[in-house]
Amino acid sequence: MTNSTKKNNIFSILLNLSIIVFLTGCEEKINLDLKTTDPILVVNGMITNEMKAHTVKLSLSTSYFYNQPAPNVSGAIVTITDNEGNLYKLKESSPGIYQTESNVNGKIGNTYTLKIKYNEKEYTSVSTMRRSVSIDSLGYKKTRDDKNYHLLMYAQEPLGKGDYYLWHTYVNNQIKTDTVKNAIFTDDSEVDGNYINGFEMDNIRLNEGDSAFIKTYSITKDAYDFYMSMMFETAWRGGLFDAPPANIKSNISGGAIGLFVASAVTESKHIKIK
């Protein structure tokens, strides 16, 4: 994968669903006739092939001038079913956080349906868990300024177009690409069936002595489109008169926004920067 391909096909993920505009530095009084809308249910959920408690987060959208965290949604009925007849009832572990039991793991090839009942309305989403790619090994190289290091990834991409990937990087066992930082995601259109020979993961800088590994997620096209639309629509952030996000793609039916995705996860071996 060349640097030019990487620039065209790999982007930083901006997954903060609660976008807040802070109005500062206005010296002249401006009267704006801004219409407000009713709150919309915001969904952020995932089920993987890992044996663990899987989480669905529910909140409500807010106006652009609401200078507080988005309100959590409590009291919803949340379930996940699959095509094999399994039913998982999620419990609300804390306000807005709904989880399965800790002994649940999804299966590659299965289709999962999320159902949410809240305020006498029902919302659904369907996602199929696709195969992932296993990283053979990791390496590292000096950054251009010779002060830090970037990870290098080596892996065989499976033959057959239509795969989408998300990579999360962990440094010293701490995730460094969470929902408010940069992760890397791409499709396989430029590398289908090829060996990825030292792809530079330039989203994270490492120091000598750091230990790092990468988790690969086999995201769906819905998830890829969602992340792409988030990236483009949130380019206005911070500008008072920029167009607000209005076209974020979502795979939640019933009038909610957000994302539910089934994903296979593979973890690379750990590497220590020496």
pLDDT band at 27; cut points 50, 70, 90: very low
HSE-up of residue 19 (Cα within 13 Å, Cβ side): 19
Provide the pLDDT confidence category of residue 165 given band limits of 50, 70 and 90: very high
pLDDT band at 172 (very low <50, low <70, confident <90, very high): very high
Considering only residues 78 and 3, tell me which one the structure prediction assigns the higher pLDDT. 78
The answer to the question of residue 142 being in a domain is: yes
Instruction: Assess if residue 202 is contained within a domain.
Output: yes
Q: Residue 62 — pLDDT band, cuts 50, 70, 90? A: confident
pLDDT > 70? residue 146: yes
CATH number at residue 146: 2.60.40
Instruction: Let me know if residue 206 belongs to a domain.
Output: yes
Residue 70 lies in a domain: no
At residue 65, the pLDDT reads 56
* Range of weakest confidence among 34-43, 150-159, 231-240: 231-240
Minimum mean pLDDT among 61-75, 137-151, 195-209, 248-262: which range? 61-75
Taking all residues of the chain, what is their mean pLDDT, rounded to a whole number? 82
Give me the pLDDT at residue 248, please: 72
> Does pLDDT of 33 surpass 70?
no
pLDDT band, residue 113 (cuts 50/70/90): very high
Which residue has better confidence, 241 or 124?
124
In-domain check, residue 117: no
The amino acid that residue 175 corresponds to is: I
pLDDT at 149: 98
Report the C-alpha gap between 271 and 70 in whole angstroms: 38
Look up the domain containing 204 and give its range: 132-219+265-272
Q: Which helix (H) or strand (E) holds 143?
A: none
Question: Residue 79 contacts by C-beta under 8 Å, 6 or more apart in sequence?
Answer: 87, 88, 89, 90, 114, 115
Going by pLDDT thresholds of 50, 70 and 90, the confidence category of residue 18 is very low
Which amino acid makes up residue 95? P
Element (H, E) at 233: helix 221-233
| 170: number of Cβ within 10 Å | 18
pLDDT at 179: 52
Residue 140 falls within a domain, yes or no?
yes
Strand 257-263 and strand 41-48: the pairing is: parallel
Structural domain includes residue 185: yes
265/167 Cα distance (integer angstroms): 10
- Least confident residue range of 138-152, 210-224, 226-240, 250-264: 226-240
- CA–CA separation, 210 vs 158, rounded Å? 30
What dihedral do alpha carbons 192, 194, 105, 109 form, nearest 10°? 40
pLDDT 10s digits, 230-241 = 776 654 343 333
Burial class for 45, CB neighbours closer than 10 Å (0-12, 13-18, 19+): buried
Decide if pLDDT at 23 tops 60. no
The number of folded domains in the chain is 1
Q: Mark residue 24 as left, alpha or beta (left: phi above 0; alpha: psi -120 to 50; beta: remaining).
A: beta
pTM of the model: 0.80
pLDDT at 61: 83
